[in-house]
């Protein structure tokens, strides 16, 4: 069965620090990869996604993620976080042959101190 692991459950950073959130998945076939974010009191929304092409994808609000197939990883990065990035971040995987069903990681709560 497919699974997604997010190794960091809670990350606390100061503003301007760099961010990297880990995501690893287990599935040997073609995958589509997503990062969703849930800001306090708001809906889940898409940050970025990868399905083909350049393995370095850029999303909203200065976030980017790199797909490394050999490591089954899709880590999220941001060079300089802001207080407004405080949120919960979810990595998700879709196996290319299973329609739109998403398998989510456990989520990483990011707290940015002003």
Binding mask 35-74 for other proteins (x = CB under 8 A): -x------xxxx--x-x-----------------------
Query: Of 33, 23, 14, which is closest to residue 85 (Cα–Cα)?
Result: 14
Radius of gyration of the chain (CA): 14
Smallest distance, Å, CB 12 to other proteins?
A: 20
From 32, 72, 73, 86, residue interacting with other proteins (rule: CB under 8 A): 32
Tokens of 31: 């995958």
Smallest distance, Å, CB 96 to other proteins?
A: 5
From 22, 27, 102, 109, residue interacting with other proteins (rule: CB under 8 A): 102
Size of the site for other proteins (CB under 8 A): 24
CB 8 within 8 A of CB 89: no
Q: Which residues bind other proteins (CB under 8 A)?
A: 32, 36, 43-46, 49, 51, 90, 92, 94-107
């Amino acid at each position: 069965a497919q699974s997604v692991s997010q190794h960091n459950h809670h990350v606390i950073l100061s503003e301007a620090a760099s961010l990297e959130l880990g995501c690893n998945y287990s599935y040997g076939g073609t995958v589509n990869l997503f990062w969703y974010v849930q800001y306090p009191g708001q809906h889940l929304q898409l940050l970025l996604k990868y399905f083909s092409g350049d393995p370095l994808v850029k999303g909203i609000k200065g976030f980017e993620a790199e797909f490394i197939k050999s490591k089954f990883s899709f880590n999220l990065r941001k060079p300089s976080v802001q207080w407004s990035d405080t949120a919960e971040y979810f990595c998700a995987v879709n196996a290319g042959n299973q329609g739109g069903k998403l398998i989510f990681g456990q989520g990483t709560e990011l707290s940015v101190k002003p």
